[in-house]
Amino acid sequence: MVQKPTGPGGLPLPRTDNSVTWAITDENKPVKDGGSPEPGPLRVFNYADYIDPATLKKFQKEFSTKVEVATYNSADEAIAKLSSGAVDFDLIMGLSGSNIVDLIAHRLLAPLNHSYLPNLEKNVWAELADPFYDRGSHYTVPYVVWMDGIGWRNDKVKEDIAGMDVPWDIFWQAQAYRGKVGILDDRRDALSMPMQRDAMHKGVRPDLNTEDEDVVNKAQADLSELSGICNPKVAITDYQTLPEGKTVLHHSWSGDVLAAAFYYLPEGTPPDVLSFWGPDENGVVQNDFFCIGKGTKRPVLAHSFINFMLDEKNAYDNFVNFNGYVPPQKGIDADVLLKQDLIPKTLESAVVRPDQFASNQELLQLSVTGQRFWDDAWSKFKAG
Amino acid sequence: MSVLRNPWGKPRFLAVMTGGYIIWSVLPVLIAIGFAFNDGRSRTTWQGFSTRWFTGETGSVLHDPALRDALGHTLLLAVICVAVATPLGVALALGLQRWRGRGSGTVNGLMLLPLVTPEIVMGVALLLLFLQVFGGIGLGTDAQAIGQITFTLSYVVVIVRGRLVSIGPEFEEAAADLGAPRRDQFFRVLLPLLAPAIVASAAVAFATSIDDFVVTQYLSSDASTTTVSMLLYSSARGAPTPALNAIATVNLMITLLTLAFAYLVYRRFAGRDEATAVATLEV
Amino acid sequence: MSGSRWTWRLVALPGVAWLSVFFLVAFYTVLAVAFGNQDTLSQPVPHWNPLDWNVGYVSEMLDNFWHGGPFWTVSLRTIQFVALAVLLSLLIGYPVAYFTAMHAGRWKGAILLALILPLWINYLMRMLAWINLLAPDGVGSDVLHSVGIEDLFLSIGLLDEPGGWLNGQPVTVILALLYGYIPFFILPLFVAIDRIDRRQIDAARDLGASPASAFFRVTLPLSWAGILAGAVLIALPMFGDYYTADLVSASTQTNMIGNQIDEFMRQGSEKVTGAALTLLLSTFLLALMFYYLRTTRRAGTAAEV
């Protein structure tokens, strides 16, 4: 029998062919049914600029409470802070399958009580209502979905990126845009990009959760090559720098480019100067989730917040007025969205559809040894 | 003689250079302050005068909770820092000044170390301390205050000791010769003489706390522990509004008013030369 | 008020205790973590007893360092950036400090105030000011373009393209460091020059020294201590800087050792490596401090003789 690699704390690593049900233990039980929301403030931990202030305002009004949002700039930073045990939040949002084992192993989460979350079953895509990384949604509920791709200013970048055989190659030919190129400041996303490029050239399906040191090192070497070619910034502020023109070509999350079009464009710049391309298959497609902090004193309020965000109207408003990340809602159909003229033609592929989850891959938590390879490669890349 | 003192001939070149330096060092900040009053969203294109980013209905320092809370937390930390670091530092300065013999050199060295330690080293050390040793304190306001006190303490000691040196032991000795009891010597002679240095060191502690970034960031926890400096750091790279300039301006005004007040107090009681000495030496 | 010999130690005690716990113990924690281990959740497990120290992480880092690994690259770059910024501080700062101390006349007070002012302006606000100025549509970019500095920098390859100051240029980081720290260099230098006894310079001139040779043989040596003090005062914090490079560049080509430490400590869960790197940096800076103290002490003794 082959021993499967284990994750932090010796826990199993969820994969699409190895779904995991996280146990609910006696010492950490969900909040009882039928409670009413506790008084605030609800302390939320979230990516910076990752929820519409207007949506927050609406929730605060509806529940006569206060929400305090603390922000982080990368999933690694969030995990580092949470796992140090020094901070404590009612609600954590924005983390994903690449962090789930960490969250469980560090005992950071309180289990959910679905009786407070009627909108989960009612509204969320079936694909994600009972996901392989958390069967039964014991600890997590999906927030939004996205894919990794390329965001660019089509008024500044002349190449037909979407028409290239391997669009990722554009970064290795970006001499003309030197200094105005960006790479996502996230070790998993960034290192998986050259892996996808390599596989696309060879016409094979890459394993973006690889624990093969040579593959990871090759990706790092390829990525480091970019420094000489286009001196990229390592940042996740593409949703601000692309619309402002500070960058013109960016390794992007689809939602960031839509957010740029919805919210961040300076006056007088039309949204269709922004373009997005993401691979139809063998790329990264991902969802992140809401979860409730283990130490919360406001479990019912936290559940109410999740349920509020799963409401179709609220999810839609948050998406189109600010966030740009597609909520996996049955009622928000990609085709309908595209017909509404809300999203320019150049950004159509930034709208993620349920079927893309089958043909692409999620970046998932690695074993401790495997993670070490990625960490070392990342620090080498960051050293320049 | 004045010709002899001047090896470069007429110092016109030096004067121009100094003037140029001053413009270079101050003008960018003045421009940034100017854009705090911009009527539009841009921080690079002037669109008319307005105070909307200070007091406007939305997104202003006064009405945006994130900005307002950051300013409040910055001031809270500064007040705690002054309240603890000043008495602690004054006592340490007095003790060190009179403590002769074994151990005083070591303590003196220990006191000076935080002044030369890069902030990131202190940030890392304190972060690990609060995670590994004082888990009970954890991160957040308490840890931030302790971190700031640890390095502002040294500023207080240096300023107060400077004043102690310039006062000299004569006053107390005279009081003792006149038969004053020791407690009176301290409270009626020494303390009033030290007062300007205490005010000055409190002001320096206040200003240092307000402008601190690294230690405060390393020891922060949730949203309620965000300070103005942290806000400037996290927003500057993206596309902030002039409200960021506005909050930096408010921050600056508070710092400068505090220091100006302390300088005037010091000058009034300790004389102009000494006040200038404190202002130039205590960087 | 001599008191018992214990009275004053008692007065000093709270302060000493504070510094012992929050400075010495804190620093010892860095040692214990760097020479410790990590658990299966990648959290540090400090080894408090030096006899139990695990040298694995530190030696792995040193190995990486000696064999030209990423830590070497970053350290070398950091030293270059700091050295250049200090050198530029001297070139710009010396004339300014010299003029203020020697020739400012009745303007001295006002100039001094202008020199002190930047010390009390939030460092990040000063960086923010430049980020706005150097944006492609910013006033600063226009000025640099119209006075020809942009062309100059473009022609010697320090700048990649017109207006590209914030495109991850090492020169921008060095200039930002210069701008950020030079006020801290000028003040101790001003104090040193201001203290020079003018009669010594006059005497040199009376003995027939030319103005230039009086400067190089009298003024400059007498201000040497101020130069060193200023250089050390700005070099130490620059070695630990991470925010400047991050704010004005964010390219991997300008990351300094502080960025690397920040990455390990705050951005990722590799605190043991971060502690080891902090230890390396501290050791280097301590050595620098000792060298500085030895030089100044020797200079002090020489001056007395």
Q: What is the ipTM of this complex?
A: 0.91
Q: Which amino acid, residue A340?
A: Q
- Alpha-carbon gap, residue C128 to B233, rounded angstroms: 8
Q: In a mutagenesis test of the A interface, which of B130, B131, B217, B222 is the best target, namely the one with the most A β-carbons within 10 Å? A: B222
Tell me: cis bond preceding A8? Omega within 30 of 0 counts.
no
Please tell me which residue of chain B has the smallest CA distance to A234: B237
Q: Do A171 and A273 belong to one domain?
A: yes
Q: What is the separation of C-alpha A49 from the centre of its chain, rounded to a whole number of angstroms?
A: 13
Mean pLDDT calculated for residue range A171-185: 93
Q: Is residue B222 a contact partner of residue A43, using CB atoms and an 8 Å limit?
A: yes
Look at residue B9 in the predicted model and tell me its pLDDT.
Answer: 52
Q: Which amino acid, residue C88?
A: L
The verdict on residue A166 lying in a domain is yes
- Alpha-carbon gap, residue C241 to A214, rounded angstroms: 33
Q: What is the separation of C-alpha A341 from the centre of its chain, rounded to a whole number of angstroms?
A: 25
Average pLDDT of chain B to the nearest whole number: 86
Look at residue A358 in the predicted model and tell me its pLDDT.
Answer: 83
- Cβ distance C23 to B150 less than 8 Å, yes or no, reads yes
In terms of Cα–Cα distance, which of B200, B90, B76, B211 is closest to B142? B76
Instruction: List chain B residues with CB under 8 Å of C17.
Output: none
- Cβ distance A77 to C267 less than 8 Å, yes or no, reads yes
Q: Tell me the shortest Cα–Cα distance from C250 to chain B, in angstroms.
A: 9
Q: Do A167 and A218 belong to one domain?
A: yes
- Cβ distance B236 to C128 less than 8 Å, yes or no, reads yes
Look at residue B3 in the predicted model and tell me its pLDDT.
Answer: 44
The predicted-structure confidence for B114-124, as pLDDT tens digits, reads as follows 988 999 999 99
Give me the helices (H) in B56-190, please: 65-98, 104-116, 119-132, 141-167, 170-177, 182-184
- Cβ distance C261 to B124 less than 8 Å, yes or no, reads yes
- Cβ distance B14 to C95 less than 8 Å, yes or no, reads yes
Of A45, A85, A241, Cβ closest to residue B135: A85
| Tokens linked to B248 | 């930096």
Per DSSP, B223 falls in state G
Judged against a pLDDT cut of 90, whether residue C211 lies above it is answered with: no
Grade residue A168 by pLDDT with cuts at 50, 70 and 90.
very high
Instruction: List chain B residues with CB under 8 Å of A70.
Output: 221-224, 226
Q: Is residue C132 a contact partner of residue C138, using CB atoms and an 8 Å limit?
A: yes
Q: Tell me the shortest Cα–Cα distance from C77 to chain B, in angstroms.
A: 18
Sign of the C-alpha dihedral, residues B227, B230, B235, B241? positive
Instruction: Tell me phi and psi for residue C56, to 5 degrees.
Output: -50, -55
Mean pLDDT calculated for residue range A47-65: 92
Mean pLDDT calculated for residue range A298-326: 93
Q: Is residue C150 a contact partner of residue C160, using CB atoms and an 8 Å limit?
A: no
Q: Which amino acid, residue A9?
A: G
Chain A contact for B224, CB < 8 A? yes
Q: Which CATH number characterizes residue A77's domain?
A: 3.40.190.10
**Contact partners, residue C281, CB within 8 Å, separation at least 6:** B118, B120, B121, C239, C240, C257, C261
Chain C contact for A9, CB < 8 A? yes
The verdict on residue A2 lying in a domain is no
Give the domains, in start order, of chain B with CATH numbers: 65-281 (1.10.3720.10)
Q: Is residue B248 a contact partner of residue C122, using CB atoms and an 8 Å limit?
A: yes
Grade residue C304 by pLDDT with cuts at 50, 70 and 90.
very low
- Alpha-carbon gap, residue A109 to A215, rounded angstroms: 33
Instruction: List chain B residues with CB under 8 Å of A86.
Output: 130-131, 135, 138-140, 221
Highest mean pLDDT among A83-92, B73-82, C44-53: B73-82
pTM as predicted: 0.89
Q: How many interface pairs between A and B have CB atoms less than 8 angstroms apart?
A: 50
- Alpha-carbon gap, residue C192 to C197, rounded angstroms: 10
Look at residue C76 in the predicted model and tell me its pLDDT.
Answer: 95
Instruction: List chain A residues with CB under 8 Å of B130.
Output: 86
Q: Is residue A317 a contact partner of residue A57, using CB atoms and an 8 Å limit?
A: no
Would you mind telling me the total number of residues written for chain B in this entry? 283
- Alpha-carbon gap, residue C84 to A336, rounded angstroms: 58
Look at residue C40 in the predicted model and tell me its pLDDT.
Answer: 78
| Tokens linked to C17 | 């205790």
Q: Which chains are within 8 Å of B by 3+ CB pairs?
A: A, C
Look at residue B283 in the predicted model and tell me its pLDDT.
Answer: 38
- Cβ distance A264 to B138 less than 8 Å, yes or no, reads no
Q: Which chains are within 8 Å of A by 3+ CB pairs?
A: B, C
The verdict on residue A1 lying in a domain is no
Of A69, A88, A235, Cβ closest to residue B223: A69
Q: Do A162 and A295 belong to one domain?
A: no
Judged against a pLDDT cut of 80, whether residue B18 lies above it is answered with: yes
Look at residue C305 in the predicted model and tell me its pLDDT.
Answer: 39
Q: Do A277 and A205 belong to one domain?
A: yes
The predicted-structure confidence for A200-236, as pLDDT tens digits, reads as follows 999 999 999 999 999 999 999 999 999 999 999 998 8
Instruction: List chain C residues with CB under 8 Å of B26.
Output: 114, 117-118
- Alpha-carbon gap, residue B91 to A177, rounded angstroms: 60
Q: Do A326 and A212 belong to one domain?
A: no
Look at residue B10 in the predicted model and tell me its pLDDT.
Answer: 58
Query: Which residues, listed in sequence order, are joined to residue A153 by a DSSP beta bridge?
Result: A274
Range of the domain at A176: 148-284+362-383
- Alpha-carbon gap, residue C170 to C249, rounded angstroms: 8
Judged against a pLDDT cut of 50, whether residue A1 lies above it is answered with: no
Q: Do A108 and A190 belong to one domain?
A: no
What count of Cα atoms within 13 Å lies in the side-chain half-sphere of residue C13?
A: 6
Look at residue B65 in the predicted model and tell me its pLDDT.
Answer: 84
Of A68, A243, A264, Cβ closest to residue B224: A68
Look at residue B180 in the predicted model and tell me its pLDDT.
Answer: 72
Judged against a pLDDT cut of 60, whether residue A293 lies above it is answered with: yes
Look at residue B1 in the predicted model and tell me its pLDDT.
Answer: 40
The verdict on residue A7 lying in a domain is no
Judged against a pLDDT cut of 90, whether residue C23 lies above it is answered with: yes
- Alpha-carbon gap, residue B175 to B181, rounded angstroms: 9
Instruction: Tell me phi and psi for residue B128, to 5 degrees.
Output: -65, -35
- Alpha-carbon gap, residue A94 to A85, rounded angstroms: 19
Range scoring the smallest mean pLDDT among A142-146, B200-204, C137-141, C191-195: C137-141
Range scoring the smallest mean pLDDT among B24-28, B232-236, C81-85: B232-236
Grade residue B281 by pLDDT with cuts at 50, 70 and 90.
low
Look at residue B250 in the predicted model and tell me its pLDDT.
Answer: 95
Highest mean pLDDT among A114-118, A261-265, C156-160: A114-118
Q: Do A35 and A50 belong to one domain?
A: yes
The verdict on residue A226 lying in a domain is yes
- Alpha-carbon gap, residue A193 to A358, rounded angstroms: 19
Look at residue B279 in the predicted model and tell me its pLDDT.
Answer: 66
Judged against a pLDDT cut of 50, whether residue B4 lies above it is answered with: no
Instruction: Tell me phi and psi for residue A70, to 5 degrees.
Output: -95, 145
Neighbours of C13 (CB within 10 A): 14
- Alpha-carbon gap, residue B84 to B94, rounded angstroms: 16
Q: Do A227 and A370 belong to one domain?
A: yes
Q: Which amino acid, residue A123?
A: N
Q: Which amino acid, residue A108?
A: L
Percent of chain C with pLDDT over 70: 96
Largest CA distance in chain C: 76
Mean pLDDT calculated for residue range A115-126: 93
- Alpha-carbon gap, residue C143 to B44, rounded angstroms: 13
> Of chain B residues 246-265, which have a CB less than 8 A from chain C?
248, 251-252, 255-256, 259
Percent of chain A with pLDDT over 70: 99
Range scoring the smallest mean pLDDT among A15-19, A318-322, C132-136: C132-136
Q: Do A69 and A188 belong to one domain?
A: no
Q: Is residue A187 a contact partner of residue A375, using CB atoms and an 8 Å limit?
A: yes
- Alpha-carbon gap, residue B38 to B144, rounded angstroms: 34
Question: DSSP string covering chain C, please?
Answer: ----TTHHHHHHHHHHHHHIIIIIIHHHHHHHHHTSEE-TTS-EE---SGGG---HHHHHHHHHHHTT-HHHHHHHHHHHHHHHHHHHHHHHHHHHHHHHHHT-GGGHHHHHHHHHGGGGS-HHHHHHHHHHHHSTTSHHHHHHHHTTHHHHHHHTTSSSSTT-TTTT-HHHHHHHHHHHHHHHHHHHHHHHHHHS-HHHHHHHHHTT--HHHHIIIIIHHHHHHHHHHHHHHHHHHHHT--HHHHHHT-BGGG--HHHHHHIIIIISS-HHHHHHHHHHHHHHHHHHHHHHHHHHHHHHHHHH-
Chain A contact for B223, CB < 8 A? yes
Please tell me which residue of chain B has the smallest CA distance to A69: B223
**Contact partners, residue B114, CB within 8 Å, separation at least 6:** B122, B150, B151, B153, B154, C19, C23
- Cβ distance A76 to C267 less than 8 Å, yes or no, reads yes
How many domains does chain A divide into? 2
The verdict on residue A6 lying in a domain is no
Grade residue A77 by pLDDT with cuts at 50, 70 and 90.
confident
For chain A, the three-class secondary structure string (H helix, E strand, C coil) is CCCCCECHHHCECCECCECCCCCCCCCCCCCCCCCCCCCCCEEEEEECCCCCHHHHHHHHHHCCCCEEEEEECCHHHHHHHHHCCCCCCCEEEEEECCCHHHHHHCCCEECCCHHHCHHHHHHECHHHHCCCCCHHHCCCEEEEEEEEEEEEECCCCCCCHHHCCCHHHHHHHCHHHCCCEEECCCHHHHHHHHHHHHHHHHCCCCCCCCCCHHHHHHHHHHHHHHHHHHCCEECCCHHHHHHHCCCCEEEEEHHHHHHHHHHHCCCCCCHHHEEEECCCCCCEEEEEEEEEECCCCCHHHHHHHHHHHHCHHHHHHHHHHHHCCECCECCCCHHHHHHCCCCCHHHHHHCCCCCHHHHCECCCCCCHHHHHHHHHHHHHHHHC
Sketch the domain layout of chain C as residue ranges.
Answer: 70-268
Supply the CATH classification number for the domain C70-268.
Answer: 1.10.3720.10
The verdict on residue A316 lying in a domain is yes
Average pLDDT of chain A to the nearest whole number: 91
- Alpha-carbon gap, residue A10 to A73, rounded angstroms: 28
Look at residue B2 in the predicted model and tell me its pLDDT.
Answer: 43
**Contact partners, residue C88, CB within 8 Å, separation at least 6:** C174, C175, C178, C182
Q: Tell me the shortest Cα–Cα distance from B72 to chain C, in angstroms.
A: 17
Q: Do A298 and A375 belong to one domain?
A: no
Sign of the C-alpha dihedral, residues C261, C266, C267, C270? positive
